[in-house]
Amino acid sequence: MRTLSFEEGLVTRYLKSRNAVFLFFSTVTLLLFYPSLSVLFVQSLHDSINDYILVIPFISAFFFYSDRTKIFSIKEYSFGAGVGIIVLGVAVSLIGFRLGDAFNQNDRLSIVILSCVIIWMGGFVLFYGAMAFRNAIFPILFLLFLVPIPSLLLLNTISILQEGSAETAMGLFRLSGVPVLREGFVFHLSHLSIEVAEECSGIHSALALLVTSIVAGKLFLITGWKKWVLTMFVFPIAIFKNGLRIVTLSLLGNYVDEDILSGALHREGGIPFFLLAVGFLMVVLWILRRSEIKSRALPKMKQLPVQLDSGNR
């Protein structure tokens, strides 16, 4: 068993102290923000829109662990950048505190959680440096999904999904040949009327699909713009899925049993349609991944005749 030299012992002790101090910094940060983090946890358990937040820390930790060798290959203190980011996080928190009365509960929570994430980012940069931050850019920025969506952005997104779902449902009704009269978000069939309310916008599954697309792009794609393409497909797929669900439930309620619209199939039947949306997303992913494989194989195929000619000589 090899004995560590004096210099190696100092380096080992130095790195351990760095990790210990950062762990202490992270613990203090979590304790300071514990009241807001506990509210976020409880809200995520009971709010279907934000329930995806529960898995965000685990996904981020997975990518941290997977890339730990690369992330921590270069460790250095970065006091200027780290302290600057921490000050920015504190400033965000103070602004939220001073203007708290102008925001609703959701937006106040968004500001506080954003401040917490920024301060933690600053601590990471302070203790491990800009290079480690750059190597860990995905799992670190992924933590921004912990921030609840601000109300204005959420309402606008719901409105877009609601309108898109209604338009898609109308198109599917026409394709099916079912006679229907539309008045805004209300569809009148022969025996009942269906309203595409905000609750029927599909925002919950759209957000879950968004997180899924980002993780899948990180795992299976290399090219940056193709990852963006995969993510951009989320909302068209979510809108089509939701329109299909509206039409399916409407037809079942109109021609089979009206109680379907108030039963478990309506309240909890979104899982099969969500899995269908995931299937569509995986098809897009497969096409993008296949194009990457072909583009990497093409240069090798072009070099092959040259190598054969040189071998014949």
Radius of gyration of the chain (CA): 26
Q: What is the pLDDT of residue 117?
A: 96
218-274 pLDDT tens trace: 999 998 899 999 999 999 999 999 999 989 888 888 888 776 666 665 566 678 888
Per-position pLDDT tens, the chain of length 313: 445 444 444 444 555 688 899 999 999 999 999 999 999 999 888 887 888 999 999 999 999 999 999 998 888 899 999 999 999 999 999 988 887 777 888 899 999 999 999 999 999 999 999 999 999 999 999 999 999 999 999 999 999 999 999 999 999 999 988 888 988 889 898 888 888 887 777 888 899 999 999 999 999 999 889 999 999 999 999 999 999 998 988 888 888 877 666 666 556 667 888 899 999 999 999 999 998 887 776 665 555 555 544 444 4
Helix (H, G, I), strand (E, B) or coil at 312: helix
* Cα distances (angstroms) measured from residue 233 to each of 95, 214, 247: 36, 11, 21
Where along the chain do its domains lie?
A: 6-148, 153-312
Q: What is the pLDDT of residue 257?
A: 75
Q: What is the pLDDT of residue 198?
A: 79
Q: What is the pLDDT of residue 311?
A: 46
Q: What are 120's two structure tokens?
A: 């933690």
Question: Within the chain, what is the greatest distance between any pair of CA atoms?
Answer: 86
Q: What is the pLDDT of residue 303?
A: 55
DSSP conformation class of 148:
P
* Sign, CA torsion 63/42/37/96: positive
d(CA 131, CA 211): 26
Q: What is the pLDDT of residue 190?
A: 84
Helix (H, G, I), strand (E, B) or coil at 186: strand
d(CA 45, CA 210): 19
Of 203, 191, 225, 216, whose CA–CA distance to 278 is shortest? 216
Q: What is the pLDDT of residue 312?
A: 46
pTM of the model: 0.83
Q: What is the pLDDT of residue 264?
A: 60
d(CA 33, CA 78): 24
